[in-house]
Chain A
């Protein structure tokens, strides 16, 4: 079974500062993918970044980077230079073991303060 754990229900960050959102996962699969999604108040799920289990380099997408530590089974999202528009729920998710659906963590609500 796969499990995603996000231990931070809520986070505050000052505008223009960096913030790290934690995500740990549990799986016995060798091949899997890790995802981060942003969900603003409108409800839409916005894909941010992907990391494959065999990827040796940490994924980066603009201001988003994924700090992938395979041995520790962690996949933290780092947002640099936070903006007010980054305020939203953030979900970590994984897919693997031949299962095509995503398993989501409980989410972290990020609030960026001016």
Chain B
């Protein structure tokens, strides 16, 4: 099946630093990728939709200047958490859609997630 990778899987950083997380679709092209955030024992909350070659679409309440998303190619989207603070500590998961041509069913594959801890 299709695979989506994320790097790094785990990162610990000091408050005030910036952290970049990569999301790659390994065997298919993804014009659209999504970034989710998950707090412990909570559900996945959509942060933004990453569109190849254009600006990301952010969900209400998500600071676009803090969570920078770049979708530079059909297989790579990056999320940069700028000036990270302890409250940004979370599990970040990306996903990508592989379009099958059918309007109602398009497979969505998730990356393994990145656990960010900000000290």
**Do A and B truly interact?**
yes
Chain A residues engaging chain B, CB cutoff 8 angstroms = 31-33, 35, 37, 42-45, 47, 50, 52-54, 91, 95, 100-107
Can you report 24 A-B residue pairs in the complex whose CB atoms are below 8 A from each other? A32-B104, A35-B108, A43-B38, A43-B93, A43-B112, A43-B113, A44-B113, A45-B44, A50-B105, A52-B104, A52-B105, A91-B43, A91-B44, A95-B108, A101-B34, A102-B34, A102-B44, A102-B108, A103-B46, A104-B43, A104-B44, A105-B43, A106-B43, A107-B43
B112 touches A42 (CB 8 A): yes
Further contacts, 14 of them, CB under 8 A, given A43-B93, A106-B43: A31-B103, A33-B104, A35-B108, A43-B112, A44-B110, A47-B107, A50-B105, A53-B104, A54-B104, A91-B43, A100-B97, A102-B95, A105-B43, A107-B43
Q: Which residues of A contact B28 (CB under 8 A)?
A: none
Tell me, rounded to whole Å, the shortest Cβ–Cβ distance linking B55 to chain A.
Answer: 16
Chain A residues whose C-beta falls within 8 Å of the C-beta of B38 in the assembled complex:
43
Shortest Cβ distance from B47 into chain A, in angstroms?
Answer: 10
A100 pairs with B32, CB closer than 8 A? yes
- Chain B CB within 10 Å — which of A33, A102, A107 has the most? A102
What's the Cα separation between A7 and B103 when bound, in Å? 30
Q: How would residues 100 to 119 of chain B score, 1 for a CB under 8 Å from any chain A CB and 0 otherwise?
A: 00011111111011010000
Question: Which residues of the other chain, B, contact A91 by a CB distance below 8 angstroms?
Answer: 43-44
Q: Which residues of A contact B115 (CB under 8 A)?
A: 43
Alpha-carbon separation in the docked complex, A88 to B55 (Å): 35
Flag if B49 contacts A43 (CB, 8 Å): no
Query: Which among A32, A43, A50, A106 is the interface contact of B91 at CB below 8 angstroms?
Result: A43
Contact residues, B88-102 vs A (CB, 8 A): 91, 93, 95, 97
Nearest A-chain residue to B35, judged by Cβ: A101
Contacts of B113 in A (CB 8 A): 43-45
Residue numbers in A under 8 Å from B43 (CB-CB): 91, 104-107
Q: Which residues of B contact A53 (CB under 8 A)?
A: 104
